Amino acid sequence: MKRIFILLIVCLLLTSCQGVSKEEEKTSIRIGISLYRGDDTFINNIRSIIEEKAKEYERESGIKVTLDIQEAKGSQNTQNNQVERFISLGCDVLCINPVDRTDTSLIIDKAMTAGVPVVFFNRQPVEEDMNRWDKLFYVGVDAKETAVLQGQMVVDLYRKQPEAVDLNEDGVVSYVMLEGETSHQDSLIRTEWSVQTLKDGRVSIERITGGIANWERSQASALMEQWLTEYPDTIELVISNNDDMALGAIDALERAQVTGVNVIGIDGTTPGLEAIENGKLLGTVSANKDLYCSAILELAASCALEKALPEEYPLTDETYFWTPQEIIITKIKENP
């Protein structure tokens, strides 16, 4: 009898506890987002889509999502302070696009102490840092895959119409290379593997020159202007680590009234896609931005609500979401 009585009390306690946790289920979440810079075209594209995704999530789940978005203006110190502020404001989760991907330890320290999970994106922290806590995630693209796709688009065109790539038909494609920030994981890998893919695809190539334009249109435009003067009538292909620098090269080509040179980029930004539409940019490699941004948002929301991540977002090593990518090429060159 005594046992049954105790059992009854335990059951009553359990059901009442469940009742409390149901009532306490979160109906709103707050996400602190810090961008390495606010004037980066690709990052701005991502920002707008994350904002749309947050509204979509709110509509579908009935959970209110507050986004606190800050720009770090290229300063790691500023970003560290933003993280501190997000935590003091009670953010449930942080989405960080680190300024210096090799210097995220302070952000991680602060987040771990406060028990606030972090979803990094686009600028990949070093593995040692990512391994410090099981509440650290990364959303991005596989840099080698991007570069192989970029090289492949030229290989495919060369096979179909060699003269569309080897403009002077001397059997060698002479190219220049525009590189992003040296500290960014994407720059080195993109530079190496786009060229390697051309070689693997049996396109004879010759590097005329190259330079670092830090992802920026104006810097790339200045470099290209200089190269057009130094190497007149020589450049057949411009390989750029991103669309913005590719557009800078196109600006310089237009100013010098040089036509026919092929320019390839990466990102599929809004201005990049417009240039493809107009036949100015031969092609680009684009991540599925919809998926990229919903992965960031869904990961953040599931951390904030302490729920499992939906199955559509498989994580490698329970940490990394690698977004699928595709080639986008101008129809004008494909069907001359």
**Contact pattern from residue 212 through residue 251 relative to ligand BGC, giving x for each residue in contact according to CB under 6 A and a dash for the rest:** ---x--------------------------x-x-------
User: Which window, 3-11, 37-45, 195-203, 293-301, contacts ligand BGC (CB under 6 A)?
Assistant: 37-45
Crossing angle between the packed helical segments 217-230 and 243-255, to the nearest 10 degrees: 40
Q: Does 142 bind ligand BGC (CB under 6 A)?
A: no
User: Which window, 38-46, 102-110, 148-156, 295-303, contacts ligand BGC (CB under 6 A)?
Assistant: 38-46
Crossing angle between the packed helical segments 41-61 and 270-277, to the nearest 10 degrees: 110
Number of residues that bind ligand BGC (CB under 6 A): 12
- What are φ and ψ of residue 187, in 5° steps? -60, -55
Q: Tell me which of 82, 122, 240, 294 binds ligand BGC, using CB under 6 A.
A: 122
Query: For ligand BGC, which is the closer residue by CB, 41 or 174?
Result: 41
Residues contacting residue 19 through CB under 8 Å, at least 6 positions apart: none
Amino acid at 88: S
Q: Tell me which of 178, 267, 302, 329 binds ligand BGC, using CB under 6 A.
A: 267
Query: For ligand BGC, which is the closer residue by CB, 36 or 137?
Result: 36
Question: Could you tell me how far CA 66 lies from the centroid of its own chain?
Answer: 22
Handedness of CA 128, 134, 138, 144 (dihedral sign): positive
Instruction: Report DSSP letters for 78-107, one per residue.
Output: HHHHHHHHHHHTT-SEEEE--SSTT--HHH
SS3 168: coil
Q: Tell me which of 47, 123, 280, 333 binds ligand BGC, using CB under 6 A.
A: 123
Residue of 325, 294, 300 lying closest to 312 (CA atoms): 294
Number of other CB atoms surrounding residue 206 within 10 Å: 11
Q: Does 40 bind ligand BGC (CB under 6 A)?
A: yes
Q: Does 71 bind ligand BGC (CB under 6 A)?
A: no
Q: Does 186 bind ligand BGC (CB under 6 A)?
A: yes
Q: How far is the CB of 252 from ligand BGC (least distance, A)?
A: 18
Q: How far is the CB of 124 from ligand BGC (least distance, A)?
A: 10
- What is residue 163's DSSP assignment? G
Query: For ligand BGC, which is the closer residue by CB, 76 or 242?
Result: 242
SS3 305: helix
**What does the binding site for ligand BGC look like in residue numbers (CB under 6 A)?**
40, 42-43, 122-123, 184, 186, 215, 242, 244, 266-267
